[in-house]
Amino acid sequence: MKAEINGIQMGFEIIGGMGLPIVLIHGFGLNRSIWKAMAENYLSEHTVILPDLRGHGESQAPTGAYSMDVLADDLSALLDFLNYEKAVICGHSMGGYVTLAFAEKFPKRLSGLGLITTHAAADSEAKQKDRYQMVEAVRENGAVVLAESLAPKLTKDDSIRRQSHQILAGTDPAGIIGAIMGMAERPARMDLLPEIEVPTLVVAGNEDQIIEVEIARQMADSLPQGRFLLIEDSGHMPMIEAPKALGEGLSWLLSKVKADKV
């Protein structure tokens, strides 16, 4: 499905449709397909909304930087389009940056929060430099440059690595560049964590090559209703590497949100 959202066509799909709404946001360079099997197998009793962020998947890729605030605005507008006042918002990697931006901008629209293999810090100067170098590389050689660089870091599983490489290489270069620039410019949001009052699940993979486990644990400790979940034998992609463990964690989050509403 597609909707006109903030001047772009935004791709999305809905799985289930009966229970609490939960939005699952993919990471940088990927798309909603990474969530689909896990959502169908473990969350189908809920209303699972899978968006493609602007510049990714079936969503349009305008030129220019995509700030995390703009991506959060897109999600809020999608909830308006679907007539949901509130939802559980869960983000993977860059999707976690978007989730935190959403929590800051739209706290009254949050029922619960999921932060999956992500963190709340801003980029260091060295990381920003790396990002801008990748922008130039993608401009010159296309999305395959990103795929070759990023896919090996996402997982040790060869089949999942190939799947991730295929998605990354097929992403619109304008979308990759827009997202990179938005990530490079994003603010730190560690100070926001103690202000988030809704139930929150923080997920880490013990084999993640991108996000250190201790960073995720510290985030959970900073959240008033934070719960930390360490998934064994999983890297940066637990929704594919360990769908049962992540699905059970998200089911706990939804149960907690539902109990808090009673």
Per-residue pLDDT of the chain in tens (262 residues, 90 and over written 9): 999 999 999 999 999 978 899 999 999 999 999 999 999 999 999 999 999 999 999 999 999 999 999 999 999 999 999 999 999 999 999 999 999 999 999 999 999 999 999 999 999 999 999 999 999 999 999 999 999 999 999 999 999 999 999 999 999 999 999 999 999 999 999 999 999 999 999 999 999 999 999 999 999 999 999 999 999 999 999 999 999 999 999 999 999 999 987 5
Cα–Cα distance list, 107 to 99, 113, 177, 216 (Å)? 11, 10, 29, 21
Q: What is the pLDDT of residue 241?
A: 98
Per-residue pLDDT at 17: 79
In words, the CATH class of domain 2-122+188-261 is alpha beta
Q: Where are the alpha helices (DSSP H) in 124-185?
A: 125-141, 144-154, 158-169, 173-184
State residue 12 phi and psi, 5-degree precision.
Answer: -165, 165
Instruction: Give tens-digit pLDDT for 60-112.
Output: 999 999 999 999 999 999 999 999 999 999 999 999 999 999 999 999 999 99
CA–CA distance, 26 with 92 (Å, rounded to integer):
5
So what's the pLDDT on residue 127?
98
Q: Looking up tokens 């066509």, which residue turns up?
A: 9
Instruction: Give strand ranges (E) for the chain.
Output: 2-5, 8-16, 21-25, 47-51, 87-92, 110-116, 200-205, 226-231
Q: What local confidence, expressed as pLDDT, does residue 18 receive? A: 83
End-to-end CA distance of the chain: give it in Å, rounded.
Answer: 33
What is the phi/psi pair of residue 215, to 5°?
-65, -45
Residue-averaged pLDDT of the chain: 97
